[in-house]
């Protein structure tokens, strides 16, 4: 009985910890020195095959024009406690993730993109990732822009989806862009169904 209670308590605390941060234990404003590599693999400089041993090796990655070092990574399936946590997923959606790190080691950006290489079942649902963003950061206070349909975009189910939204919450700016349409024809390979999310740290004034 005691062991069951302890396991239940651990799971509650673990889930609460996930909910308190932006993605798992990653949160803008956090210093990468506090992150553990256990549970993650393929830690690399973004768009590179250069593997890193530790998060603190971020300075080995060239800075982008915005003065940030970017690292990509994957979840390590060895530490998945059930099949729902296998693969690099956020709220059940296969994704790619990268983080932008300042020279000081502080996380300035977290970028999450639904994975175009995921099986077609998941790709069809990828445009719905915005709903998970709402459930995490709340449904109010968003400012949105709907984009005009391009000539080669074909509507699905009488609705054209190509919209970006953002909101500010405390010291964060949360942005997402969701898309759902076909390009040129309605073949499977022509489907565009994806969501991009960016969480940015807002610097305090004064």
Q: Where are the domains of the chain?
A: 25-201
CA dist 77 to 5, 7, 42, 65, 201, Å?
A: 26, 21, 12, 34, 29
Reported confidence tier of residue 5, pLDDT bands at 50, 70, 90: very low
User: Is 166:142 a contact under the CB 8 Å cutoff?
Assistant: yes
Q: How many CB atoms lie within 10 A of CB 54?
A: 12
Calpha distance 18→59 (Å, rounded): 27
Quick: pLDDT tens for 156-196. Answer: 988 899 999 999 988 999 999 999 999 999 999 999 999 99
Predicted model pTM: 0.85
91-140: pLDDT as tens digits: 889 999 999 999 999 999 999 999 999 999 999 999 999 999 999 999 99
Which tens digit of pLDDT belongs to each residue from 32-91? Answer: 999 999 989 999 999 998 899 999 999 999 999 999 999 999 998 876 655 555 679 998
């Amino acid at each position: 009985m005691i062991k069951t209670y302890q396991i239940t308590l651990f799971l509650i605390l673990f889930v609460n910890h996930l909910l308190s941060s932006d993605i798992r234990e990653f949160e803008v404003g956090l210093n990468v020195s506090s992150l553990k590599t256990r549970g993650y693999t393929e830690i690399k400089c973004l768009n590179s095959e250069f593997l890193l041993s530790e998060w603190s090796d971020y300075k080995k990655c060239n800075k982008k024009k915005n003065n940030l070092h970017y690292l990509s990574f994957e979840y390590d399936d060895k530490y998945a406690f059930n099949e729902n946590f296998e693969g690099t997923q956020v709220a059940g959606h296969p994704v790619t993730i990268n983080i932008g790190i300042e020279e000081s080691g502080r996380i300035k950006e977290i970028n999450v993109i639904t994975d175009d290489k995921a099986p077609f079942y998941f790709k069809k649902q990828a445009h719905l990732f915005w709903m998970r963003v709402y459930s995490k950061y709340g449904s109010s206070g968003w400012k949105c822009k709907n984009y005009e349909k391009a000539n080669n975009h074909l509507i699905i189910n009488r609705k054209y989806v190509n919209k970006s939204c953002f909101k500010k919450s405390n010291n964060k700016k949360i942005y997402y862009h969701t898309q759902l349409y076909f390009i040129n024809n309605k073949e499977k390979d022509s489907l565009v169904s994806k969501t991009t999310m960016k969480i940015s740290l807002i610097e305090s004034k004064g």
